[in-house]
Amino acid sequence: MAMMIDVTGKDDVYREATATGRIRLREATVEAIRRGEVEKGDPLSISRVVAMEAVKGTPYALPFCHNIPITGIDVDVELEPDGVAVTVTVRAIAKTGVEMEALSGVAAALLNVWDMVKSLEKDEGGNYPWTRITDIAVVNKVKRRKDGFHST
C-alpha cells in the first residue's frame, strides 16, 4: 500500500541537506560553455535557476514528499575541465528532511545542462557516447533540535 508518512506528531526542527552531482562533457563543449558560445544561452546561470525551481517543486514530482516551507537554497554550478559540477544545499524548519529537495535540485540542474548543450554533445548518429550524469549523492545532512542537539 502506497501512502504519505504522517508526520503530524513530529516537531518542527532545523533541517539542512547538501547534494552534489556531475555531468561529463566533451572538451569542446566545456570550451563552448567557457567562451559563452552555447546557442541556447549560459547553461551555468540558467541551471542555478532550474535547481531552485526543482527544489520548490519536489512534492509535485515525488508524490509522497511533504510540501515543506523551504527557508533557503544555495546552488553552486561550476565548470570543470571535463564537465559541470552542481552542489545544492536546502534549508527548512520542518517536520521532515530536505534530502529529496536537494537531490531534485541537482538532478534538474544537470539535466538542464545536458539539454542546453546536447547539440554539441551528439555524435554523427545523434547519440551521446561521451555525456554522462554521475555521482548524484547526498553529501551532508543536518538536523538540529530545539535543545541544540545535532544529528544526521
The three cell numbers of residue 100 are 529529496
Residue 145 has pLDDT above 80, yes or no: no
Q: In which residue are the cell numbers 533541517 written?
A: 15
pLDDT at 26: 98
Q: What is the pLDDT of residue 142?
A: 96
Q: What is the mean pLDDT of residues 55-70?
A: 96
Q: Does the structure show a pLDDT above 70 at 148? A: no
In the block, cell 517543486 appears at 57
Would the pLDDT of 30 be above 60? yes
Is the pLDDT at 151 greater than 60, yes or no?
A: no
For residue 62, pLDDT beyond 80:
yes
Average pLDDT estimate for 61-87: 97
Rounded to the nearest 10 degrees, how much is the dihedral formed by the CA atoms of 93, 94, 100, 104?
Answer: -50
d(CA 131, CA 50): 20
Burial of 47 (0-12, 13-18, 19+ CB in 10 A): buried
Phi/psi for 87 (5° steps) reads -130, 130
Domains of the chain with CATH codes:
13-145 (3.30.70.640)
Q: Is the pLDDT of residue 152 over 60?
A: no
Overall average pLDDT of the 77-98 stretch: 98
**What residues are annotated to the active site?**
115
Instruction: Please report the pLDDT score of residue 109 as a whole number.
Output: 98
Mean pLDDT of the chain: 95
**Do residues 82 and 25 make contact, with C-beta atoms less than 8 angstroms apart?**
yes
**Nearest alpha carbon to residue 77 among 22, 17, 40, 133:** 22
